[in-house]
A and B are shown apart, each in its own frame.
Chain A
Amino acid sequence: MEELRNPIILTSVGLYMVLCIAVGIWALRRTKSSHDFFMAGRNLGVIVTAFAVFSTTLSGFGFVGGPGLVYRMGMSSIWMVVIAVLGFSVTNFLHGKKLRLLSELGDSKSLPDVVFLRYNNNYTRVLIAIAIILGVFGYLATQILAMSVVLKDILNETELFAELTLGTSMIFSCSILVFYSVTGGIIASVYTDLIQGGVMIVAAILIFFTVMYTFDGGITEMNQVIQSDDPAAIGPWGTLGMIGCMSWVLMFGLGGSGQPHVITKLMMNKKVSDVKHILPISILGYLFSGLLWIGIGLVMRALVVSGRHPELAGADEAASQFLQHYAHPVLAGIVFAGLFAAIMSTADAFLNIGTAAVMHDIPKAIGKTIKNELQWARITTVIITIIAAFFAVWASNNGDLVALLGAFGWGTFAAAIVPVVTLGFNWRRGTAIAANVSIVVSLLMNFIVKIGKISIPYGIDVGALSMLVALFLFITISFFTREDKLESDVEEVLQM
């Protein structure tokens, strides 16, 4: 069976990509307007929305970066998984109703559309769109880079593609992504999310069982091995320490409600009351998938410190090394397909919100209406992918730029969007001027701290600090500025 490892992995990844193309072709016939392209006609069922929410949240980070962090720091990053139950609850309590109602009331096609409806201010709409575009390029470029590197590594193991370059691998993987994102828009995106979520859950559960039996004494022996080397690593705060971990709790628990690629999914469900079912299903999906994150990271740390496995060349190799040496070839195939699923489900969501921001929100804010929005949305999707791919290649050759890209990730979205959307949609007194100031300050703060390499004590997350400052400014300025005049029906919905 071992000699078939690479063919099995290639077949699994190939089958998964064929499925994505098939979904793209199927979704093409269901995408008749720009409303379908961006909002799936606000017609998604419970399971599809729930899977789209959790698989979009997880991204490639959960399959590569997550296990790598656990290997490197012990239990610290597991807080990002542990906080999921409360984090998803916060997102649903704050967005499941108001965001969904406002988006239907305004027949909105994007998050900035709903922000405009709430604040009645074009500057707020533009600023949110700009924050989304900055985040999209940063996030999308890193997802494209991860996708291309993984595909190149898999193909390089075969004789036929042993010399395949990163550029060729990028062209191939982006072509699949662009194909289904362009043909079927968000419909293709969410239905591929359904497949992607399913693959992730199966892969994670199987991996966790493999992890449990890697040591004869199971999880207890694995943890004792880690503890005997360094008690802090298996303690609740890992090596990062308590304050750093709790800042991640804030960042992922509250910051999750500010991720536009995730919360826009809550604008697409058919019935408002579906959110009560979406919440538990998305939590379960995320928790099962999180088992891979926890399991691989800990077991690789235990294997290395016990001398049963040589030290890894880099922490991010934890997942691939485990799959190569300890997982059954079929399981390795499923997990590699799951890895592509995780990366692509996030990348397609970013493509969609980025396209909406460029092609719909900014023109609308400056008073322009684009004719034949659907056709232009498709063209814009291709252009954004090409720019992001070039950006990814450039970033991979430039360390500073990688840091810059990182600055506009999860933390930037959280700091810019949580005050304006999460709080503002649930607190009528929040004003447009406060929203605009908090967005600008949060973007600048993230950028300056990251680029200036300013050290924050105790490992406090930059995004968490920016989010707190932005929240403070939003509430303070709102208290001292005059309440905005809103349409009467918007007022009524905000009270519901």
Chain B
Amino acid sequence: MKTIHYLYALICVFLLIILFLFFTSTPANVTGQPHPRFDTMLSGGDSLSTKSNTHILGYLFGLCTVLTLCVFLILGAIRKNSLGAIRPWLLLSSLVYMIVYTLTFLSDTHYIKTNHTHFFNGWPMPTAWMIFGMWSAPVLFVCIYVFKFRDWILPLEDEERFYDLVAERKKRQNK
């Protein structure tokens, strides 16, 4: 299977989940409710975590989001129909990102069950995972791009060939 097939399958799963969500009974005020004291604010409604079916669907929806972003990124790294040596590094970085997302999700479930007591560096634990984990984990992709650009993204020979193509095209147009 090629990367595009994985992407296609992922988009189909994504759309099926959304279709399913249309037909599930939505927990009350799941997207927030008016704040009891302040008109300009919203407060949280029933969490998805209170119902097992929406809990899993919510996780899968998020996982599909994360995977879609990673698969797109992998698609952008394909050269001459192949990923080559960049493949394991991109897969590893994607895996790290998925793990961090899963830990954020699990930490939030725990946060709701344990009356919200654990703080890390000024933030409740699941929010700390979001701020420090989800924010920083994709730095791995940035490092691959910055430090291995000439090896895996645009080798010098490709760039030289490109400028030959530009010169040939200009010559053709000037004829």
CB contact under 8 A between A236 and B62, given known A254-B72, A311-B40 = no
The answer to whether A94 touches B81, judged by C-beta atoms less than 8 angstroms apart, is no
Q: Could you tell me the dominant secondary structure of chain B's interface residues?
A: helix
Residues of B within 8 A of A86 (CB): 69, 73, 97, 138, 141
Inter-chain CA distance A280–B140, complex, in Å, is 12
Q: Which of B8, B18, B69 is close to A254, meaning CB atoms less than 8 Å apart? A: B69
Measured CB to CB, the nearest residue on chain A to B115 is A231
The answer to whether B145 touches A237, judged by C-beta atoms less than 8 angstroms apart, is no
The answer to whether A495 touches B79, judged by C-beta atoms less than 8 angstroms apart, is yes
* B35 beta carbon closer than 8 Å to chain A: yes
The answer to whether A273 touches B159, judged by C-beta atoms less than 8 angstroms apart, is yes
Measured CB to CB, the nearest residue on chain B to A226 is B124
Inter-chain CA distance A250–B67, complex, in Å, is 10
Residues of A within 8 A of B165 (CB): 105, 489, 492-493
Residues of B within 8 A of A177 (CB): none
The answer to whether B146 touches A89, judged by C-beta atoms less than 8 angstroms apart, is no
Name, among A75, A241, A257, A469, the residue most crowded by chain B CB atoms within 10 Å (CB to CB): A241
Inter-chain CA distance A219–B134, complex, in Å, is 19
Measured CB to CB, the nearest residue on chain A to B131 is A82
Inter-chain CA distance A106–B173, complex, in Å, is 11
* B91 beta carbon closer than 8 Å to chain A: no
Inter-chain CA distance A279–B141, complex, in Å, is 11
CB contact under 8 A between A250 and B123, given known A105-B166, A280-B142 = no
Q: Within residues 229 to 249 of chain A, which ones have a CB less than 8 A from any CB in chain B? A: 229-244, 246-247, 249
B-contacting residues of A (Cβ < 8 Å)?
Answer: 71-75, 78-79, 82-83, 85-87, 89-90, 92-98, 101, 104-105, 218-220, 223-224, 227, 229-244, 246-247, 249-250, 253-254, 257, 272-273, 275-277, 279-280, 283, 287, 301, 304-305, 311-315, 422-423, 426-427, 429, 457-460, 465, 468-469, 471-472, 475-476, 489, 492-493, 495-496
Between-chain CB contacts (< 8 Å), 17 pairs? A71-B41, A86-B138, A87-B69, A92-B145, A104-B166, A219-B122, A234-B127, A235-B44, A238-B32, A239-B33, A241-B48, A241-B58, A246-B62, A279-B142, A305-B38, A423-B72, A495-B81
Other than A227-B116, A236-B127, A241-B30, give 19 A-B pairs with Cβ distance below 8 A.
Answer: A83-B134, A85-B136, A93-B73, A218-B122, A223-B127, A230-B44, A235-B116, A246-B65, A272-B159, A273-B150, A276-B146, A280-B146, A314-B40, A315-B40, A426-B78, A469-B15, A475-B11, A493-B165, A496-B154
